[in-house]
Amino acid sequence: MLPPRPGKGSAASLYDEDFFEWTRRNAELLRHGKLAEADHIAEEIEDLGKRDQRAAVKWMFQPERRSDSWTESIVRERITLESLFEQSASRRNHVSERWDGS
């Protein structure tokens, strides 16, 4: 097991106490092949995927709340998504399937 960083607890306790440190600690554990010692990894990965879809869902189901600033935010997020899609072709396919199926 990797030793705790000075002044910090286990990966499990860090999740609630210091999320940023938790991310650093778990990344270190994963890099050293210590998956069994990592904590909450699957849940966080799923949450990342869900976060990517929230803005699109809000836009679709809350047309009365659309504004110029919201439109500008969407344009910025589309640029960000293009970068993410370049890194993750499966995400682009998932989004395409969702839009085509709606």
Is residue 44 a part of any domain in this protein? no
Residues 3-25 have pLDDT tens digits of 555 445 565 677 888 888 888 88
Residues 24 and 59 in one domain: no
Total structural domains in the chain?
2
Residue 87 and residue 60 share a domain: yes
Quote the domain boundaries for residue 25.
11-39
Supply 43's token pair: 């849940």
Please report, as a single letter, which amino acid is at residue 8: K
Task: Identify whether 27 is part of a domain.
Answer: yes
90 in a domain, yes or no? yes
Is residue 23 included in any domain, yes or no?
A: yes
Whole-model pTM over 0.95: no
Instruction: Quickly tell me which residue has 């949450």 as its tokens.
Output: 47
Which range has the top average pLDDT, 11-15, 53-57, 58-62?
Answer: 58-62
The answer as to whether 1 is a domain residue is: no
d(CA 87, CA 78): 14
Measured CA to CA in angstroms, residue 99 lies from 24, 35, 95 at distances of 35, 35, 6
